[in-house]
Structure 1
Amino acid sequence: MPDLAPVKRALISVSDKTGLAELGRALAERGIELVSTGGSAKALRVAGLEVRDVADLTGFPEMMDGRVKTLHPAVHGGLLALRDEPSHAAAMEEHGIGGIDLLVVNLYPFEATVAAGGDYAACVENIDIGGPAMIRAAAKNHGYVTVVVDVEDYPALLKQLDARGGTTRAFRQTMAQRAYARTAAYDAAVSTWMAGAIGEETPRRRAVAGTLAQSLRYGENPHQSAAFYVDGSDRPGVATATQHQGKELSYNNINDTDAAFELVSEFAGGDPACVIVKHANPCGVAQGATLAEAYARAFDCDRVSAFGGIIALNRELDEETAQAITGIFTEVVIAPGATEAAREVFAAKKNLRLLTTEALADPAEAGRMLKQVAGGYLVQDRDNGRIDPDALKVVTKRAPSEQEMADMRFAWTVAKHVKSNAIVYVRDGATVGVGAGQMSRVDSARIAARKSADMAEALGLDAPLIKGSVVASDAFFPFADGLMAAAEAGATAVIQPGGSMRDADVIAAADEAGLAMVFTGMRHFRH
Structure 2
Amino acid sequence: MELRYGINPHQTAAPAAPVSPGKWPVRLVHGTPSYINLLDALNGWQLVREASRSQGRLAAASFKHVSPAGAALAGPVDEVTAELHGVAGDTMGALASAYLRARDADPKSSYGDFAAVSHPVDAELLTGLVCDGIIAPGYEAGTVGRLSWKKNGRFLVLEADEAFTPPPREAREVFGVRLTQERDQEPLSPALLDDNLGGVLPEAAAADLLLGLAVLRYTQSNSVCYVRDGMTLGIGAGQQSRVDCTRLAGAKVDSWWLRRHQAVRALAFRPGTRRQDRINWQIRYIEGDLTQEERTRLTQTLAAPADDLTSPQRAEWRQRLTGVAFASDGALPFRDNVDHAHRHGVRYIAEPGGSIRSTEIEDACREHGIILALTGLRLFHH
Change (3 A) 1:230 1:461: farther
CA gap of 1:391–1:292, structure 2 versus 1, over 3 A, is closer
User: 19, 27, 33: which is aligned to 1:242?
Assistant: 27
Q: CA RMSD in A?
A: 2.3
Q: 1:495·1:517 contact (CA, 8 Å) conserved in 2?
A: yes
Which digits, 9 at most, give the CA deviation of each residue in 1:404-433, with x for residues without a partner? Answer: 111111111111111111100110111111
> Residue in 2 aligned with 1:331?
132
Q: Alignment partner for residue 316 of structure 1, among 85, 108, 120? A: 120
More RCO (CA 8 Å, sep 6+): 2
2:160 to 347, 357, 368: 357
How do 1:502-517 and structure 2 match up within 5 A? Answer: 502-517=357-372
Instruction: Tell me which of 388, 392, 396 is aligned to 2:197.
Output: 396
Counterpart of 1:449 (choices 216, 241, 250) is 250
Classify the secondary structure of the residue corresponding to 1:489: coil
Are residues 1:422 and 2:223 paired?
yes
Q: Say whether residues 1:409 and 2:210 are aligned partners.
A: yes
Give the residue type in structure 2 aligned to 1:256: D
1:227 and 2:26 aligned: no
1:414 partner SS: helix
Distance apart, 1:438 and its partner CA: 0.5
Q: Write the distance in 1 (CA, Å) between the matches of 2:157 and 2:222.
A: 31
Q: 1:280 to 1:235 in 2, by over 3 A?
A: farther
Structure 2 unaligned runs (5+)?
76-93, 264-316
Q: Is the 8 A contact 1:283 1:301 kept in 2?
A: yes
Give the deviation of 1:222 after TM superposition: 2.2
Pairwise CA distance, 1:243: 2.7
Say if 1:411 and 1:426, in contact at 8 Å, map to a contact too: yes
Bigger Rg, structure 1 or 2: 1
1:395 deviates by 3.7
Letter in 1 for 2:51: F
TM-score (norm 1): 0.55
Contact 2:45 2:160 in 1 (8 A): no
Contact 1:399 1:517 in 2 (8 A): no
Rounded Cα–Cα distance in structure 2 between residues aligned with 1:302 and 1:346: 23
> How do residues 142-157 of structure 1 correspond to structure 2 at under 5 angstroms?
none
- The runs of 5 or more residues in structure 1 that have no matched partner are 1-212
Change (3 A) 1:439 1:525: same
**Matching residue within 220, 228, 251 for 2:35:** 251
TM-score, structure 2 as length reference = 0.74
The answer to whether the 8 A contact 2:172-2:180 is kept is yes
Identity %: 33
In 2, Cα distance between equivalents of 1:235 and 1:274? 28
For residues 195 and 135 of structure 2, the distance between their equivalents in structure 1, rounded to whole angstroms, comes to 37
Deviating more after overlay: 219-228 vs 423-432: 219-228
Q: Structure 1 residues 305, 360: CA separation in 2 closer, same or farther (over 3 Å shift)? A: farther
Contact 1:273 1:314 in 2 (8 A): yes
What is aligned with 1:376? Answer: 177
Task: Decide whether the 8 Å contact of 1:412 with 1:474 is kept in 2.
Answer: yes
- Which letter maps to 1:227? A
2:51 touches 2:211 (CA, 8 Å); kept in 1?
A: no
Letter in 1 for 2:255: D
Aligned to 1:60: none
1:470 matched residue in structure 2: 325
